[in-house]
Amino acid sequence: MLEMALLGNRLPVSISSMTHLDIMHGTSDFNYCPNCGVTAVYSDENGQRILSCECGYVHYKDPKVAVGVLIRDQDNRILLMKRAHHPRKGFWSYPSGYVDYGEQVETAAKREVMEEVGVEVKIGELIGVYSEEGSRVILVVYQGAIISGSPSPGEESEEVAYFSLSELPEMAFPRDVGIIGKWMDEN
């Protein structure tokens, strides 16, 4: 069994017992304080499970910001990519991903499009901000327009293609169909 050994024996979290959602979204709890290594003690505050330690460290499960970009071609089809990684590997999504610490949201949007579909985009209008009960992820979605390059699979995608609303493939995340449909209807 693979064990995390970054801090010696202070973080014995079995990676093999974690799901990709635990890893990607930070849904599992620490067994030990990440600051001093003593056994973690949790309390519930306002319905949120909080780690607070005798060393003074407090850990809140804060939201994680993700960004997505909807890109349309001249035939009114949307650019999608088949995901090459978890979560939902093998399913389709529009270019999207997490905003890095200290990164401007619009910069992250451009970066994700380049990484996933290999084109440079101009970020346009904010389409919406989406969240779901019980999920750490807050999704910020923009409209984008290709200014350079031709769509092609990147490191994080198996293939890319344009689809009409009536021909959407099986999407990675259920909310995406509604976001795409509403955007296409309004534009």
pLDDT digits over 136-152, tens only? 899 999 999 999 999 99
54 in the same domain as 23: yes
Residues of the chain with pLDDT under 50: 1-24
Please tell me the total count of domains within the chain: 2
CA distances to 66, 95, 173 from 113, in Å = 13, 5, 18
In a domain, 53, yes or no: yes
54 is catalytic: no
Contact 187, 110 (CB under 8 A): no
172 in the same domain as 86: yes
Of 3, 120, 159, 170, which one is the catalytic site residue?
A: 159
151: containing domain? 64-186
Contact 130, 91 (CB under 8 A): no
Q: For position 49, what pLDDT does the model report?
A: 76
In tens, the pLDDT along 120-137 reads 999 999 999 999 888 889
Q: For position 14, what pLDDT does the model report?
A: 42
Residue 108's domain is classified under what CATH number?
A: 3.90.79.10
The token duo for 152 is 């092609």
Q: For position 27, what pLDDT does the model report?
A: 56
